[in-house]
Amino acid sequence: MPNRTNPASVPSYYSATAHPWEGFPALEGDVLCDVCVVGGGLAGLSAALNLAEKGYSVVLLEAAVIGFGASGRNGGEVISGYSCDMATLRAQAGDDAARALWDMSVEGVEIVGERVARHGIACDWTRGYCTAATRPGHVRGLEDWQRTAASVYGYRHYQLWGRERLATQLASERYHGALFDSEAGHLHPLNYTRGLARAAQAVGVRIFEHSRVGQLMTQARPQLSTSRGTVRAGEVVLACNCDLGELVPQLSRRIMPAGTYMVATQPLGEERARSLIANNMAVSDTRFVLDYYRLSADHRLLFGGKVSYSGHEPRNLAAAMRRDMLRVFPQLADVAIDYAWGGFCDITMNRAPDFGRLQDHVYYLQGFSGHGVNVTGVAGKVVAEAIAAETSRLDVFGRLRHRDFPGGRRLRAPVLALGMLYYRLRDLL
């Protein structure tokens, strides 16, 4: 797993191929601002950028370096919706709120495209994504969702592909059909995250790296302390996710760090790469513990999967991931793995995002549950609206119910691992 004491130790494909990064200084001394954002990932940067565009003075504190967490090493897939299905959201929040939540997820994808264009972020943004069915019954489920998406949520960008149509674009015999989304897509997440940081800096956000917040005091004017400085702010946005730790225990109890893993092959060359995925779309499958993959700009296959709650990386990660990859693409048996990496993302009990206001002047964004590249964009926009006294969209997220993980700090990971065993067995049956 990544080591926060040495950010250069993350051996990912993304860090190896990222644009040059000058970095930001650590906080020194005392500063004042309208809003202090804690966390230099996509959620925190989105909040900071939106707030600065509204005219607020903003300070952003990052414990390590920008994009060091899940924002800089994820699958890079930008997909409408959430990690939980819409039926879960509708059951908890009602029909009107569910439609609003769906629309905001679509807006999240649009925000990515708009930010890339407006700020000139070179991150290989590419449209096209499909969900591939690993069982015949899953095709029926995809067909049902296509109808629901169109009739209930007004989303008509899906195309249902049968096995033969899918085979013209994806060279794997593993699947029985797919649902293709022409508006979703994929990108280089670390370059995108750093691009947002540069955009935020350009509109006045003061960014400090290597500035872990050790204490948050929520008095009349909140104060945040690091090892070498303090920030006094009118409002605070906590976007720490898995790195929240003991800063706010009542929030950290509602999320669980889940280990996720990826590999990157050696360069395949354009012809061989496109022989795997002809239209350069991103792909995920329909299992609970799913595979997800796409091509990189330099014609590698980037392949992700597996989930761990132990806090430990799977043994022989590259070999284990390679076996999974060959189940999808056995024709890559002669191809070497150049990079293998993993890290944590934050999940909630119901896999729905957890956004809200902790108390006066303190807001939080967490629980993206592996679906954060698009949802973070709208999360930052919604929390900026709330700080500017327009709370209606944040209140929609507040209707979702979130519970602490059972078992406390010591037992919650084993308890969740036992629960996950059911889903692993279901995927195999």
The CATH number for 381's domain is: 3.50.50.60
Tell me what the mean pLDDT of segment 275-300 comes to.
Answer: 96
Closest CA to 49 of 123, 127, 122, 112: 112
Residues 6+ away with beta carbon under 8 Å from 262: 12, 13, 73, 75, 302, 303, 304, 321, 339, 340, 341, 342
Q: Are residues 227 and 162 in the same domain?
A: no
Is 426 domain-assigned? no
Q: Are 328 and 293 in contact (CB under 8 A)?
A: yes
Same domain, yes or no: 356 and 226: yes
Give the confidence band of 8 by pLDDT, cuts at 50, 70, 90.
very low
What Rg value do the Cα atoms of the chain yield, rounded?
Answer: 21
Query: What is the predicted pLDDT for the residue at 11?
Result: 77
Q: Is 281 domain-assigned?
A: yes
Question: What's the pLDDT score for residue 266?
Answer: 98
Whether residue 10 is predicted with pLDDT greater than 70 in this model: the reply is no
pLDDT of res. 409: 59
Q: Are residues 226 and 162 in the same domain?
A: no
Q: Above pLDDT 90, what percent of the chain?
A: 81
Least confident range from 300-314, 364-378, 407-421: namely 407-421
pLDDT attached to residue 263: 97
- At residue 336, the pLDDT reads 98
Residue 21 maps to a domain: yes
Q: Specify the DSSP class assigned to residue 277.
A: B
Say if residue 417's pLDDT is above 90: no
pLDDT at 416: 53
For 92-141, how does the pLDDT look when each residue is reduced to its tens digit (9 = 90+)?
A: 999 999 999 999 999 999 999 999 999 999 999 999 999 999 999 999 99
If one compares 285 and 307, the residue with the highest pLDDT of the two is: 285
234 CB-contact burial (10 Å; exposed 0-12 / middle 13-18 / buried 19+): middle
Give residue 314's pLDDT. Answer: 76
Q: What is the pLDDT of residue 289?
A: 86
How far is it, in rounded angstroms, from Cα 178 to Cα 199?
Answer: 36
Domain shared by 238 and 276, yes or no: no
Task: Please tell me the predicted confidence (pLDDT) of residue 414.
Answer: 55
What is the pLDDT at residue 420? 47
368 & 318 share domain:
no
Mean residue pLDDT across the chain: 92
Specify whether 276 is located in the same domain as 341.
Answer: yes
pTM value is 0.93
Lowest mean per-residue pLDDT among 125-129, 173-177, 262-266, 346-350: 346-350
Residues 89 and 233: their CA atoms lie apart, in Å, by 34
Whether 3 is covered by a domain: the verdict is no
- State the total domains in the chain: 2
pLDDT at 9 over 70: no
Residue pair 166/132 in contact (Cβ under 8 Å)? The answer is yes
Same domain for 269 and 336? yes
User: What number is the average pLDDT over the span 179-203?
Assistant: 98
Q: Is residue 416 in a domain? A: no
201 occurs within a structural domain: yes
Q: Which domain-ending residue is among 347, 364, 391?
A: 347
Same domain? For 152 and 268 the reply is: yes
* pLDDT value at 308 more than 90: no
State residue 353's pLDDT score.
96
- Residues 202-225 have a mean pLDDT of 94
Q: Is 95 inside a domain boundary?
A: no
Does 16 score more than 50 pLDDT?
yes
Q: Which of 332, 347, 362 is the last residue of a domain?
A: 347
pLDDT > 50? residue 211: yes
Residues 277 and 242 in one domain: no
| Higher per-residue confidence, 63 vs 419 | 63
pLDDT for position 227: 96
CB atoms within 10 A of CB 237: 28
Tell me the pLDDT band of 4, cut-offs 50, 70 and 90.
very low
pLDDT at 7: 46
Residues 198, 339, single domain; the answer is: no
Which residues form the domain of 142?
A: 126-186+257-347
Number of Cβ within 10 Å of residue 423's Cβ equals: 13
**Residue that is last in its domain, among 347, 381, 400:** 347
Q: Which band of pLDDT confidence, cut at 50, 70 and 90, is reported for residue 408?
A: low
- Is residue 370's pLDDT more than 60? yes
H or E element, residue 354: strand 354-359
Same domain for 274 and 180? yes
Structural domain contains residue 97? no
| 163 and 214 belong to one structural domain | no
CATH number of residue 141's parent domain: 3.30.9.10
